[in-house]
Amino acid sequence: MPTRINPWSLILVVILAYWLFTLLGGNNTRTSVSYTDFIAYVEEGKIARVVLQEGRITAYFKAPQRISVGNTTETTDRFTVVALPSGYTDLELIQLLRKNGVEITNRPPSIWGPLLYSLLPIAALIAFWWFFFMRAQGGAGQVMQFGQSRARQYGKERRVNTTFKDVAGHTEAKRELMEVVDFLKNPQKYITIGAEIPKGVLLVGPPGTGKTLLTRAVAGEAGVPFFSVSASEFMEMFVGVGASRVRTLFEEARRNAPAIIFIDELDSIGRKRGAGIGGGHDEREQTLNQILSEMDGFEKDTSVIVLAATNRPDILDPALLRPGRFDRQVVIGLPTLEERKEILQVHMRGKKFASDVDVHALARLTPQFSGADLKNLVNEAALQAARENASEISQAHFQAALDKIMLGLERGTLKLSEQEKRAVAYHEAGHAIAGEVLPYADKTEKVSIVPRGMALGVRWSKPEERILMSKEHLEDTLAMTLAGRAAEELFVGTITTGAANDFKQATSLAKQMVLDWGMGDHFKNVAWGSNTGPIFLGEEIAKKQDHSEETSRLIDADIRTILDRAYEKAKEVLSRHAEAVHRLAEELLESEIVQGERVREIIAQTQKPEAVAPTAFNPEA
């Protein structure tokens, strides 16, 4: 595609080139000689004509002459006099010229040079600000459209090819959105019966779960004009610009009705008004007010549907969520086991896979993975296969990709001493043995003491799909988490800093048990709120403590009691299975990686007959 040349840029380049031309000697394109040599040529009768101009004399030879210029000689028919002062007059010069029959021509001074010298700084300043303004607005075409909408429009010429067939899982969400598609295709069916389609649909869910993909599918299925814009694109350093862009966007959508407007990351402009310190912003609030007015203001319009996406619905202004604006909230959660299988199969289309690739096993190994995470997993496995020059992607490539995503790259250059390596081996062996022995903990998938990322070792588990977590499962999970430090204390003879992350995870989980789930000894039916999610500075400062100092002391006591119990349980389990811990640690020191099946074999081989595991928890009892 040919590049379009801006005429203003061309004019600026020409002016600048002329200025440099004159500055660097553009007036001296002809051969220059001294005033003394000029007088000598006149006296010798070689000059036919001179042109007198303020600060300059141009002389023409009667015939081309070979003259000396500096250290060289050249042949020329004319020359100029160098370094002639402006306004210089030599009364004898005119007499000398007339005496030698030289034709004299007077030329008035040029006004272009002084004019350019005076106007060039102003022009350069204007050009600088124009260029800065153009770049700030994303191109020269928008300099005069500062308040225009930046939404990308898709229609007949530029269609969205995504459909619901390209979206795996999210059955309930697709059912809700199909109603929007049906209204846009067959509005009369709803109008006849007196039904009103929701004006706004808010897609809520964690990052990477497919909110934008679902919206593209709605546009592709409906086949109507689709306007896509990020909420941050409304914001500008000048107050009122965002509101102007909102008006322009809705006006354009109404002209192309029926149409869909999609606003991504709505929370960037839809935050609660008057949220406290750092919560007020004139431009953001004016933009939000304009969106509220356009969606359900004085002017009623049912032919434009607004879809929006956010992962922070808790911070949105209540006026956005009331009926008449965003009537519906469609939750796009993390995919379940079956949905992860479907998503993996979608992203595996068109790629070559070995026969040992087990999609079901991959789905089980990726709990809490979003659709974007699963796409990244497939891509990393493909990159790993290409790195090894393999013709197909195997299960081993997926395992390597999963390790890389979860833990980071292997740190082969990190060399541990024998004592440090032994401490890491016993630490991870403690996690693995406790996780296998405790009946409600997730079972071990793999144990490794290969340094990856920030971790010196890792114990992988195979988590089960749980909707509700029992108290027994949480307590066993805490014991398994603290079993690494317990193993160090029991078998290494000292404790290390390797349990830092374990303590953070365990403390966070214990806080939730006490503050959110009513599992403390003193507070069984009270939820104080653990504030585990991010909050705003203003909300944090303005928040009042809703319990006394005595209550805080009891909360701390409950958290400590839960952690102490879990630690003692871990020590008791590891003491009973000390031989298994020793054998697993030795195998880790030898091979660095031990699979979960081998861990279970070691426990079975060292199991004492009197050591009988407690009965598993039955949630239906």
Residue numbers annotated as active site: 428
Task: Locate the DSSP E strands across 82-129.
Answer: 103-107
Question: Measuring CA to CA, which residue among 208, 595, 584 is closest to residue 396?
Answer: 595
Question: Measuring CA to CA, which residue among 57, 62, 53, 94 is closest to residue 79?
Answer: 57
The DSSP code sequence of 286-349 is HHHHHHHHHHHSSS--SSEEEEEEES-GGGB-HHHHSTTSEEEEEE-----HHHHHHHHHHHTT
Torsion angle, alpha carbons of 257, 260, 264, 266, to 10: 70
Question: Measuring CA to CA, which residue among 132, 143, 130, 113 is closest to residue 15?
Answer: 113
Neighbouring CB atoms inside 10 A of 467's CB total 6
Angle between helices 471-487 and 500-515 in degrees, nearest 10? 160
81's enclosing H/E stretch is strand 72-81
**Separation of alpha carbons 237 and 269, rounded Å:** 14
79's enclosing H/E stretch is strand 72-81
227's enclosing H/E stretch is strand 226-230
- Provide the total of helices (H) and of strands (E) in the chain, helices listed first: 21, 14
Angle between helices 578-591 and 596-606 in degrees, nearest 10? 140
For residue 475, what are its two tokens? 């307590």
**Separation of alpha carbons 377 and 366, rounded Å:** 10
Q: Which long-range CB contacts under 8 A does 124-127 form with residues at least 24 apart? A: 124/16, 127/8, 127/12
